[in-house]
A and B are shown apart, each in its own frame.
Chain A
């Protein structure tokens, strides 16, 4: 059963009661909340995801609730609890959905050590080969990722690239793409067919909105894919799309720096990352126009 098959009132009731268990790639997340504002964006963005069995195993049990304090009445807030513990400082109540997304990212990055987890987007071309886009905030990673997805690339992940140490393949999460600030309107104009959540203003990351993952990508979420390119993107006003070779050694260190658990995995982390570098081509990429960027990505040569 998919989440979208629940009537809105039934979704709200289940969230407040025993919770809903959503499958996102290799993980099942049990989400509970009696905050009414959570159900609409969840219904909008997660309607195509499968619900897991209520009695089965869930990797993460999370609750979003209002703190038991005077703030309940004055400047209401929301708390994210993981396994019964508040993991972050509370946020304003209107940020309940971004907090869920950020919290779920944390659940994966802090616990899923069966993967080497890199802070990077991962998208697959029609031939099935994956481009990994590691980049700091503000580099245009998510905008580029959303642009590629809007033009037929398959989304594996916008934020967390999951590398399987035993196979070297990238596993998909296919959770909503997080857009920030100017990127929100850029993508509304560039890809009006993509479903976006209402923008939430004044978060720690500025204004944020989330893009719904195409249903075809959610259906293929259990298909791992082969990485072929590591591309470090950078949006720069008025620049032509330019792809230049990036030293493999520096790419290795860049990815290690962007990994959440490279150190935790020790030798296995090194071996996994080294294998990734062995089998991919590494580039720096500067762009200003999405059409040019997508054209460049469509023509990325297959590594020998």
Chain B
């Protein structure tokens, strides 16, 4: 089965996007991040449902390898994880 990503289940994310950047508020940590718009859009997509990286890259309009690299930043921040369900 192809690997899917999801928002880490304990988190609530609030996003606001302007031009090429998005502000992200993470609850309950209270951290705020500024993200490139494509990552913000990916998070919005993941908020709706778990997704494969190919689908996220397609939405962002970026090559898969480049987008996968950028997505790893969200994983390192603990915002997303592999959907194990």
Measured between beta carbons, the chain A residues less than 8 angstroms from B79 are none
A34 to chain B, nearest CB (A): 44
| Cβ-neighbour of B21 out of A248, A270, A278 (below 8 A) | A248
Q: Give CA–CA (A270, B15) in the complex, Å.
A: 9
Q: Give CA–CA (A91, B75) in the complex, Å.
A: 50
A147 to chain B, nearest CB (A): 30
B29 to chain A, nearest CB (A): 10
B21 to chain A, nearest CB (A): 3
| Cβ-neighbour of A253 out of B27, B30, B34 (below 8 A) | B34
Measured between beta carbons, the chain B residues less than 8 angstroms from A248 are 18-19, 21
Question: Would A270 and B19 be within 8 Å (CB), given that A256-B32, A263-B30 are in contact?
Answer: no
Chain B residues with a Cβ under 8 A of chain A: 14, 16, 18-23, 25, 27, 30, 32, 34
In the complex, the answer to whether B30 meets A274 with C-beta atoms within 8 Å is no
B48 to chain A, nearest CB (A): 20
| Cβ-neighbour of B23 out of A263, A266, A267, A270 (below 8 A) | A270
Chain A residues with a Cβ under 8 A of chain B: 247-250, 252-253, 256, 262-263, 266-267, 270-271, 273-274, 277-278
A159 to chain B, nearest CB (A): 23
In the complex, the answer to whether B27 meets A267 with C-beta atoms within 8 Å is yes
Question: Would A277 and B16 be within 8 Å (CB), given that A249-B34, A266-B30 are in contact?
Answer: yes
Measured between beta carbons, the chain A residues less than 8 angstroms from B19 are 247-249
Question: Would A274 and B27 be within 8 Å (CB), given that A248-B18, A252-B34 are in contact?
Answer: no
Question: Would A277 and B27 be within 8 Å (CB), given that A250-B34, A253-B34 are in contact?
Answer: no
Which residue of chain A has its CB nearest to the CB of B22? A249
| 7 sampled A-B residue pairs with Cβ under 8 A | A247-B19, A249-B34, A250-B34, A252-B34, A253-B34, A271-B14, A274-B16
Measured between beta carbons, the chain B residues less than 8 angstroms from A273 are 23
Measured between beta carbons, the chain A residues less than 8 angstroms from B23 are 249, 252-253, 270, 273-274, 277
Measured between beta carbons, the chain A residues less than 8 angstroms from B22 are 249
| Residue with the greatest number of chain A CB neighbours at <10 A, chosen from B16, B19, B21, B34 | B16
